[in-house]
Structure 1
Amino acid sequence: MGSGHYFWAIFYFASLCSASLANNAKINFREKEKKVLDQILGAGKYDARIRPSGINGTDGPAVVRVNIFVRSISKIDDVTMEYSVQLTFREQWTDERLKFDDIQGRLKYLTLTEANRVWMPDLFFSNEKEGHFHNIIMPNVYIRIFPNGSVLYSIRISLTLACPMNLKLYPLDRQICSLRMASYGWTTNDLVFLWKEGDPVQVVKNLHLPRFTLEKFLTDYCNSKTNTGEYSCLKVDLLFKREFSYYLIQIYIPCCMLVIVSWVSFWLDQGAVPARVSLGVTTLLTMATQTSGINASLPPVSYTKAIDVWTGVCLTFVFGALLEFALVNYASRSDMHKENMKKKRRDLEQASLDAASDLLDTDSNATFAMKPLVRHPGDPMALEKRLQCEVHMQAPKRPNCCKTWLSKFPTRQCSRSKRIDVISRITFPLVFALFNLVYWSTYLFREEEDE
């Protein structure tokens, strides 16, 4: 029993010694990391104001490779023509002054959180309007220094960038928004930016935009020349397609409904003046309010947009329906005046016939009757000839479906106002359907050509 206790005591003591040695090794390893940092970044050993040398230590320009990770795109504003994006921005370059011993592969890299300790490229976003870093809970930035002198700089930033838009096809349009990065002070003789080889731009998988879809993105170079020299520049073009379903539900279908409602006036009685006026004015004001609401969410541009053509034509149709009632009302009053005149004329003719018959009765003793040289309009012979002429004129010449359908309504002896309503019931829907055919075929085909 005593020997067993001695064995376990020795085992426990050995375990404590090994743990203590391991902790000392870790402490010594961290101490070595501190010594490496002091060795390469110590006072008088490294100057962050001097740029690193070129490739393979030459005197050429320093090469900085860039890649970005798009975390989110919060909004795309049509009025201010800008978009907001949050991204992780990374730069990588080689500074041979920062080479160090990796302690047989145990020290993979050194990590810094202060960017001013080493030389940094003077990159800026040329189309930036606003931007800020993220400092919760700690500043979202780090610098890694690798044994071969390679430096990796990574930071999370939020930017509001300008995005000039062409809204001629709105809302059937596609927009290209760019992200431009350039050197502010170093020319291409001293600093060159390059995209990282193999997938330089990454986008989060569950990227969601309320009114747009990110179709694709392209990377390119955009070096600029000024009076002070040529500056290296990178850009990535983001191609956004506008989601049309929202505008179909909110704009196009309501406008169609307003136009169709304005046609109800053609089926109301001509005497229902308050109903037809109220219907026409209400639809006109609603359409005008809809148009002003659409324009309020868009910038005032000098060209005509696709939505302007649609709302303008719909407003014209609603206004035309109101003018049609004004024409019908005028024609109705004109027909009523003609009917009154005809009635007065018939009364005068009847009175003259009665007076002539009375005169014939009083002159029954006359030996002969004088025949009038000009027959009176109320003469039975004249009435018979007029009836024969009307029957001849109303005789059908050829079977015509339109005339057959119109014959169900009053002809020339009746009101013209009714004929205007009947013609409008067919003309307005046909013209509106023709406009839809031309509109959708024009803008949809133009959208495909722009692709």
Structure 2
Amino acid sequence: MIVSFEESIFESALKSTLKSYSQSKDNSEDNKNGINGTEDVPKTAEELSVDKEQIKRIPIYINMDYRVDFYYKQQWLAMKPDCQMYKNSMIGRNISLVNVSQSDKLIINKEYFTLFWIPDIMISNAKEVKQQSELIETILLQIHFVGNNNEDCYMEYLGRYYSIVSCPMDFRDVPIDLQKCSIQMRSFAFNEDRIQLNWSRNVEFNPDLRLLEHDFEITQERITTEIFKETYSLLKIKIEFQRKIANKLVGIYTPSFIIVLITFCTFWLGITAVSERVTIGITALLALVTQFNEVRQSLPPTSYTTEIDHWMIMCIVMVAAQLVQCTIVDFVYHRQQHQLKVKKTQIDVINRFRKSAQNKQIGGKGLKAKKWLNLKVNANRKPNSWDDMFKTKAAVYKPPNNDNNNNLIVNKLSKIMGKLLSVPVGPDKSEYLPMRIDAVSRILFPMTFAIICIFYWPLMLSKAF
């Protein structure tokens, strides 16, 4: 699932209430010593282009993550002692503070960030966080002097970033799956006793943002989390991605459904059109297998099957069953023809022998030969031959004549069933049994597929609500 919140506005305005500022001076000294003041190595145009290509080729599905671009703002209040220290540091760097007030803000360049304490807020479940642009700095620090005699400093840190955020996903319900992801922000070093995070406003997103395959919904909350027996204040943005079924319905379900229906049409082609029936079946099977492989490649490799896998497997089984039915029909037809041919040959031999015996009838010998001939003919007949089995059966299916049944729908269905099961030849012909198998398949296969659809679709769609 490739999710890219291009040009989205995640203006996470964090308002930090600091219970203790005793560490601010030490942190500022650490920053001055180079802990947070490392210089960025300038990149060439080739290196920048390589970085962009790597970003475009991130294997989202395999890594179970998504990308989000966001604006980020955090606000906090530095009380008089810390604010005075900041003023002294700025004056020492020849930064004029004459026109700075609550309405007029002072914008600090990145090279002076080491003079101030900035909350160490991080995205704890992010795999990667970078600035939006490699060419310009997309971070900013602003200072407002507030309070009596402008003795307090109201700090604002703004930035624009993109982040690759981890999200454990479950694809069992594809194509109606609901993925629940989150962006979790907390302080890296300070627990809840030292720093508390609160939302100053609701998270906003670009109203023009549209995802190709998903609808999404964003909510926010403030919670606490425990790490190494320490409790931290945590701000959480919850994002729910609901997949749109229309794309899969048009691209996968409808073509596979039509392919299966086309294979059912082979039952009407006749028992002699073997090559046509096999060609249609194999072509349909290859098309479904190719489509199934494309579906699997669009999803991450999982140890479980998805709902769309179940559908594709059922369609493949139905097409494979049609090929098996075609094989059985052809086998039965040729076997019946062979049996009738052998039987006809035996009858011809017996008739010639009988005719020869009748021509040579001499006294008692002729009578004995005739009796022996009749005995051999009766002995060669099998009581379980196809003639005996279908001798009493009608060649055409006839629905029962129920005069007491006034239900017109049942009568019409009976007539339709009779036409579908009708066989134009008698049971003494070699085509009878193969045609009977085709006639039954015309009803059995569509009914089986209809039952599968009746159970599959309500069960799958019920998971979406």
Shift of 1:188: 1.1
Choose which of 435, 438, 444 in structure 1 pairs with 2:452: 435
Shift of 1:324: 1.3
What is the TM-score with the length of structure 2 in the denominator? Answer: 0.70
Choose which of 154, 159, 165 in structure 2 pairs with 1:155: 159
**Aligned pairs for 1:122-161 within 5 A:** 122-135=120-133, 138-148=136-146, 149-161=153-165
Corresponding letter in the other structure for 1:230? T
Q: What stretches of structure 2 of length at least 5 have no aligned partner?
A: 1-23, 30-55, 88-96, 147-152, 382-386, 402-413
Corresponding letter in the other structure for 1:210? L
2:211 is aligned to 209
1:87 is aligned to 70
Shift of 1:201: 0.4
**Aligned pairs for 1:280-429 within 5 A:** 280-359=281-360, 363=363, 394=394, 398-399=400-401, 401=415, 402=417, 405-414=420-429, 415=431, 416-429=433-446
Corresponding letter in the other structure for 2:116? V
Q: Contact (CA 8 Å) 2:224, 2:234: kept in 1 or not?
A: yes
Shift of 1:98: 2.4
**Aligned pairs for 1:108-127 within 5 A:** 108-114=104-110, 115-127=113-125
Matched residue SS, 1:447: coil
Shift of 1:154: 1.0
Whether 1:49 aligns to 2:47 is no
Choose which of 158, 167, 170 in structure 2 pairs with 1:166: 170
Q: Using the TM superposition, name which of 422-431 and 301-310 deviates more.
A: 422-431
Q: Contact (CA 8 Å) 1:76, 1:83: kept in 2 or not?
A: no
Shift of 1:339: 0.8
Q: Contact (CA 8 Å) 1:178, 1:236: kept in 2 or not?
A: yes
Q: Using the TM superposition, name which of 77-86 and 160-169 deviates more.
A: 77-86
For 1:150 and 1:331, locate their aligned partners in 2 and report how far apart those are by CA, in whole Å: 91
Q: Contact (CA 8 Å) 1:93, 1:150: kept in 2 or not?
A: yes
Decide whether aligned partners of structure 1 residues 342 and 147 sit closer, same or farther in structure 2, where only a CA change above 3 A counts.
same
For 1:172 and 1:389, locate their aligned partners in 2 and report how far apart those are by CA, in whole Å: 53
Matched residue SS, 1:168: coil
Q: Using the TM superposition, name which of 140-149 and 150-159 deviates more.
A: 140-149
For 1:349 and 1:124, locate their aligned partners in 2 and report how far apart those are by CA, in whole Å: 99
Q: Contact (CA 8 Å) 2:65, 2:167: kept in 1 or not?
A: yes
Matched residue SS, 2:63: coil
Shift of 1:354: 2.0
For 1:206 and 1:48, locate their aligned partners in 2 and report how far apart those are by CA, in whole Å: 45
1:384-430: CA deviation from partner (whole Å, max 9, x where unpaired):
xxx99988654979346445653443343233222222222222122
2:225 is aligned to 224
**Aligned pairs for 1:18-97 within 5 A:** 47=25, 49=27, 77-96=60-79, 97=82
1:232-265: CA deviation from partner (whole Å, max 9, x where unpaired):
2111111111121111122111211222232343
Corresponding letter in the other structure for 1:429? P
Shift of 1:304: 1.7
Shift of 1:107: 4.7
Q: Contact (CA 8 Å) 1:186, 1:231: kept in 2 or not?
A: yes
Q: What stretches of structure 1 of length at least 5 have no aligned partner?
A: 1-45, 52-73
Decide whether aligned partners of structure 1 residues 343 and 113 sit closer, same or farther in structure 2, where only a CA change above 3 A counts.
same
Choose which of 153, 173, 193 in structure 1 pairs with 2:197: 193
Q: Contact (CA 8 Å) 1:131, 1:158: kept in 2 or not?
A: yes
Decide whether aligned partners of structure 1 residues 48 and 117 sit closer, same or farther in structure 2, where only a CA change above 3 A counts.
farther
For 2:134 and 2:391, locate their aligned partners in 1 and report how far apart those are by CA, in whole Å: 96
For 1:218 and 1:278, locate their aligned partners in 2 and report how far apart those are by CA, in whole Å: 54
For 1:245 and 1:389, locate their aligned partners in 2 and report how far apart those are by CA, in whole Å: 53
Matched residue SS, 1:413: coil
For 1:363 and 1:294, locate their aligned partners in 2 and report how far apart those are by CA, in whole Å: 85
For 1:110 and 1:208, locate their aligned partners in 2 and report how far apart those are by CA, in whole Å: 37
Matched residue SS, 2:444: helix
For 1:106 and 1:183, locate their aligned partners in 2 and report how far apart those are by CA, in whole Å: 27
Choose which of 61, 74, 83 in structure 2 pairs with 1:98: 83
For 2:184 and 2:115, locate their aligned partners in 1 and report how far apart those are by CA, in whole Å: 27
Q: Contact (CA 8 Å) 1:212, 1:241: kept in 2 or not?
A: yes
Matched residue SS, 2:355: helix
For 1:389 and 1:153, locate their aligned partners in 2 and report how far apart those are by CA, in whole Å: 92
For 2:330 and 2:388, locate their aligned partners in 1 and report how far apart those are by CA, in whole Å: 34
Decide whether aligned partners of structure 1 residues 372 and 273 sit closer, same or farther in structure 2, where only a CA change above 3 A counts.
closer
Q: Contact (CA 8 Å) 2:423, 2:439: kept in 1 or not?
A: no
Shift of 1:292: 1.2
Larger Cα-atom Rg: 1
Decide whether aligned partners of structure 1 residues 182 and 309 sit closer, same or farther in structure 2, where only a CA change above 3 A counts.
same
Shift of 1:369: 11
Q: CA RMSD in A?
A: 3.6
| Percent of paired sites with the same residue | 24
For 2:368 and 2:252, locate their aligned partners in 1 and report how far apart those are by CA, in whole Å: 82
Shift of 1:350: 2.2
User: Number of matched residues?
Assistant: 369
For 2:373 and 2:350, locate their aligned partners in 1 and report how far apart those are by CA, in whole Å: 15
For 1:211 and 1:389, locate their aligned partners in 2 and report how far apart those are by CA, in whole Å: 60
Whether 1:182 aligns to 2:180 is no
Decide whether aligned partners of structure 1 residues 409 and 136 sit closer, same or farther in structure 2, where only a CA change above 3 A counts.
same
Q: Contact (CA 8 Å) 1:79, 1:297: kept in 2 or not?
A: no
Decide whether aligned partners of structure 1 residues 139 and 175 sit closer, same or farther in structure 2, where only a CA change above 3 A counts.
same
For 1:313 and 1:171, locate their aligned partners in 2 and report how far apart those are by CA, in whole Å: 16
For 1:105 and 1:429, locate their aligned partners in 2 and report how far apart those are by CA, in whole Å: 80
Shift of 1:223: 2.3
Matched residue SS, 2:159: strand
Decide whether aligned partners of structure 1 residues 280 and 134 sit closer, same or farther in structure 2, where only a CA change above 3 A counts.
closer
Corresponding letter in the other structure for 2:144? F
Shift of 1:315: 0.9
Q: Contact (CA 8 Å) 1:90, 1:154: kept in 2 or not?
A: yes
